[in-house]
Structure 1
Amino acid sequence: MLEKLQIIKNRFDEVSDLIIQPDIISDQKRYIQLNKEYKDLRVLMDKREEYTSLTNSINEANEIINDGSDAEMVEMAKMELETAEERLPELEEEIKFLLIPKDPEDAKNAVMEIRAGTGGDEASIFAGDLYRMYTKYCEGKGWNVSVVDYNEGTSGGFKEIIFEVSGEDVYGTLKYEAGVHRVQRVPQTETQGRVHTSAATVMVLPEAEEFDVELDMSEVRIERTTSTGPGGQSVNTTYSAIKLHHEPTGMIVSCQDQKSSHKNLEKALKVLRSRLYELELAKKMEADSEKRKSMVSSGDRSAKIRTYNYPQGRVTDHRINLTLYDLGNIMDGDIQKIIDEIHLVRNTEKLQETGEAF
């Protein structure tokens, strides 16, 4: 493990030197990438220092115990040795997880899409509940949420809503939220008090930058229309809404959230790039059958990943058999525990897949 950590230290020293170079500072994209790498490596360096300190303490304690000339020192050394030996395996596990190669997509911002599924009006209301849950969670993380497009349900909520989330490690944190979310509750319109089951689909895409996807604008047909929905008199008088038609794939992306046609076009292009980028990622994943079989990482939109049961006040994540009786707080954005548990399972899988000896 010390050998691996030494390699990391060499890279940390290299990055530390690079981020203070004038040519790197002037290249914003490169500087941001290196600064992110520096922060990640800094965490490992702190663990390395603790690991070195711990092994030194164990060696020193053993020397005092083997010497045996001072009974009081021997007793203190035994206590120190017990504490250090108890901490060492925990620290080694922490380091192993940190050494797992990171997905380069994880640092990206994300585009999230929530669509009402089976269940009619109740599914749209549930899609709205999920949107509120995610926005509350994102606000708590200090992330920025910006709506791209939406189609309201007839009784509230959304038939579909698309929004951008920007911040630190957004995609890496939220990517396992992709899939079918199911709700079991008595709808507001139900007069007999019967529990109904409805569903909504969540998509989480890494936001693609211009250098990720080469978008040929000659293949994109831009349609400008007047915006619909709430927003005051000016909404329907200007052709600010944008609809993009990507001819090769048949993809259609709309954006009417902003009053400016230019800003709507900018947002719509981001979503289109992200969807095209997802297609490329899916092709890469297809080649890796093990990843496709992974219970967490598949992100298969046809897979039911979570159930929100209102009568019992519980939330169950079916991929990791986790059940929490805390539905109220979870729907209010307190989903960190679920996210942490899923990442722990996935990281354990990755550790087993690599089969590396430390």
Structure 2
Amino acid sequence: MKDKLDAIKHRFEEVAQLIVQPEAMADMQQYSKLSKEYKDLEKIVQKYEEYKLVTANIKNAKEILSNEKDPEFREMAKLELDELYPQEEALEDELKQMMIPKDPNDSKNAILEIRAGAGGDEAAIFAGDLFRMYQRFAEKQGWKMEVLDLTEGTSGGYKEIISTLSGPEVYGMMKFESGVHRVQRVPATETQGRVHTSAATVAVLPEMEEVEVDVNMNDIRKDTFCSSGPGGQSVNTTYSAVRLTHLPTGMVVSCQDEKSQIKNFEKALKVLRSRLYEIELQRHNDEVGAQRRSMVGSGDRSDKIRTYNYPQGRVTDHRIGYSVHNLPTVMDGEIGDFIEELRIAENATKLKDGGSTEKAR
């Protein structure tokens, strides 16, 4: 671990020099990248200095025990070691956690897509419940949520709803929500009182910028149509809604949230970039199977990840076997415990796989 930490410290000193160079300050993109790296490395270096001080004190205390004859000095050294050993162990654990390579997308905003799955009208209603759960969670985090496009269910909820989430570390927290969410309850339309199982699919994509995903505009067909949702006098009178079709993949993205066609086009293009990025990332992961997809980090849409059991008031995350019995609270947006447990599980998997080598360059 010491070699890796020394390499991190060397890189930190290198970045400190680069960031003050005129060419770096003249290039805002480069300056921003270096600033972020500096802040990330600074935390590790400060913790490393703290760790080195503790290990130096341990070494001194051991030397006293080896060479000192005075019983009083020896007793003081023993007491000091009793305090220092737990500190050393705690700092080692902290450093191991800090050295786990972060997903570079964690700090990005996110695209949240929720679609009704098996279960007919009840699945659409459940999709609506999930959207409200995430909406309340976003409010608690101080994030901004914007709906881009939606298709309502015939009995409530949504067949599909796509939105953006903006704020600090959005994707890093929300990425664990990708997958199939299952609900077990008695639907409002059920006359016999039988418990039904329905499902909705959640996809969370990092919002990608133009410089990160190159989209050939010649590959995109743009269609405009009248908005069908809320929006005042412009609804059904102006062609402000936009539908983009990516010809090579057949992927279709619509946006009718804004009254301006230009703004709808820009938002739809962001979603398209994020989906294309996801396709490329999946292809890369499949090709380099060695990128050990952890049990919580794969984000595979076909994975059944969580069950919401209304009769028992229980929510279970199947990836980590974690259950809580406060379903109403969870549906009110209190999903932070799940995210934290999933994050711990992912870090444990990365540590087991020796994933801390990427941080030192």
Instruction: Provide TM-score, normalisation by structure 2.
Output: 0.91
**Counterpart for residue 212 of structure 1:** 212
Task: Indicate if the aligned counterparts of 1:239 and 1:261 stay in contact, CA closer than 8 A.
Answer: yes
Task: Indicate if the aligned counterparts of 1:180 and 1:302 stay in contact, CA closer than 8 A.
Answer: yes
1:89-108 equivalences in 2 (<5 Å): 89-108=89-108
Task: Indicate if the aligned counterparts of 2:309 and 2:315 stay in contact, CA closer than 8 A.
Answer: yes
Q: How many angstroms does 1:16 deviate by?
A: 2.6
Q: How many angstroms does 1:292 deviate by?
A: 6.6
List per-residue Cα deviations over 1:21-71 (Å, max 9, x = no partner): 444334222222222212211221232122112112212222333344554
Could you tell me how far apart the structure 1 residues matched to 2:292 and 2:11 are? 32
Which amino acid in the other structure matches residue 217 of structure 1? Answer: M
What SS does the aligned partner of 2:245 have? strand
| Compared CA separation, residues 334 and 39, structure 1 to 2 (3 A) | farther
**Counterpart for residue 346 of structure 2:** 346
Deviates more, 1:125-134 or 1:240-249: 125-134
Which amino acid in the other structure matches residue 80 of structure 1? Answer: E
| Compared CA separation, residues 260 and 16, structure 1 to 2 (3 A) | same
Unaligned runs of 5+ in 2: none
1:298-309 equivalences in 2 (<5 Å): 298-309=298-309
Task: Indicate if the aligned counterparts of 1:291 and 1:297 stay in contact, CA closer than 8 A.
Answer: no
What SS does the aligned partner of 1:262 have? helix
Q: How many angstroms does 1:165 deviate by?
A: 1.8
1:137-152 equivalences in 2 (<5 Å): 137-152=137-152
| Compared CA separation, residues 167 and 30, structure 1 to 2 (3 A) | farther
Q: How many angstroms does 1:208 deviate by?
A: 1.8
Give the percent of matched residue pairs that are identical in Structure 1 and Structure 2.
Answer: 58
1:113-128 equivalences in 2 (<5 Å): 113-128=113-128
| Compared CA separation, residues 68 and 318, structure 1 to 2 (3 A) | same
1:210-289 equivalences in 2 (<5 Å): 210-289=210-289
Could you tell me how far apart the structure 1 residues matched to 2:19 and 2:158 are? 45
1:8-27 equivalences in 2 (<5 Å): 8-27=8-27
| Compared CA separation, residues 121 and 292, structure 1 to 2 (3 A) | farther
Task: Indicate if the aligned counterparts of 1:178 and 1:299 stay in contact, CA closer than 8 A.
Answer: yes
Q: How many angstroms does 1:161 deviate by?
A: 1.0
1:158-197 equivalences in 2 (<5 Å): 158-197=158-197
Unaligned runs of 5+ in 1: none
What SS does the aligned partner of 2:91 have? helix
Which amino acid in the other structure matches residue 199 of structure 2? Answer: A
Could you tell me how far apart the structure 2 residues matched to 1:105 and 1:159 are? 28
List per-residue Cα deviations over 1:286-310 (Å, max 9, x = no partner): 1132447642233221110111112
Task: Indicate if the aligned counterparts of 2:350 and 2:356 stay in contact, CA closer than 8 A.
Answer: no
Which amino acid in the other structure matches residue 95 of structure 2? Answer: I
What SS does the aligned partner of 2:353 have? helix
Task: Indicate if the aligned counterparts of 2:148 and 2:256 stay in contact, CA closer than 8 A.
Answer: yes
List per-residue Cα deviations over 1:114-146 (Å, max 9, x = no partner): 101112222112112211222222333333222
| Compared CA separation, residues 3 and 147, structure 1 to 2 (3 A) | same
How many aligned positions are there?
358
**Counterpart for residue 33 of structure 2:** 33
Which amino acid in the other structure matches residue 338 of structure 2? Answer: I
